[in-house]
A = this chain, B = another copy of it.
Amino acid sequence: MRIGAIEAGGTKFVCGIGDESGRIEDQISFPTGHPDQTMPKVIDYFQGKEVEAIGIGSFGPIDIAHGSPTYGYVTTTPKPGWANYNLLGTLKQVFPVPFGWDTDVNAAVYGEVKWGAAQGMSNCLYITVGTGIGVGVYAEGRLVHGLVHPEGGHVLTRRHPEDDFAGICPYHGDCLEGMAAGPAIEARWGKKGHELPEDHQAWEMEAFYIAGALTDTILLLSPQKIILGGGVMQQPQLFPLIREAVRRNLNGYVSSNSILDHMEEYIVAPGLGQQAGLCGALALGLSAISNKVSSI
């Protein structure tokens, strides 16, 4: 079975072909430009590839409400050309196959549930910390959409006691994304994250903010696993700092062995590595074939 997968990111698009085992047999990637330039490249890639379905995990906000007149659209992004752009519809006009359609982070969490670090689990979260911060939520065996879709990158965390940085979120200033996404690290310290030494105070502070958000998601959703991906999480020193801060925050309140005794298996990197998003899109495509798309 040949399934198409599109990881439609705000910075780059990745298109690939895979099968029902989650194996990606071919893929390409290009920067995200204006849709007039970007979408023809997507269409070119899949022409003649004879895929049986295509799954898309897209940057957002997007409309994923079945029955909505703008279902399949990117909605309010400031990215030139993409606001109110019918991404799904544009591809549907060209390829008469079933389509899966969800947020990039919901795709990633779904990929991890299907073939990655959360295989077989019914409750988990995928959080990407990069240019922005996004949260994919999988609860009781379903991807959570709700009223719009989760936008957990903007939760209001507590301020680190030694941090006087104002935050850079245009909506909230010092929300999680405003304080802890890659551009916030650069704005606060005057250097990109990967230019800062491993023992720089930046990382303890970064872990503080991420752990604050994780603590609240653990309390609100009781996930079986939390997966942290994205460019900023390529700094491996963050994981132990985050786990320790979460443990300190919870202070023994959630009495589960997974949290009390196995935190290093509870808060983890993606099992699929950088492929979580693309594999997740593949999984969305597979679900579209089995007509399960409305139930995931």
A contacts, CB < 8 Å to B = 61, 75-76, 123, 135, 137, 139-159, 171-172, 212, 215-217, 219-224, 249-256, 258-259
Contacts and interface: CB of A to CB of B under 8 A. Distances in A.
User: Would you call the interface of chain A mostly helix, strand, loop, or mixed?
Assistant: loop
Nearest to A249: B156
17 contacts: A137-B221, A139-B146, A140-B146, A144-B221, A146-B221, A146-B223, A150-B222, A151-B253, A151-B254, A153-B219, A154-B253, A156-B212, A156-B215, A156-B216, A156-B249, A171-B252, A172-B251
A147 B220 contact: no
A4 to B, nearest CB: 25
**Which of A61, A216, A224, A256 gathers most chain B CB within 10 Å?**
A216
Given A139-B140, A219-B151, A220-B137, A146 B171 contact: no
What is the oligomeric copy number? Answer: 2
Contacts of A216: 155-156, 216, 220
A166 B256 CA distance: 27
A245 B230 CA distance: 32
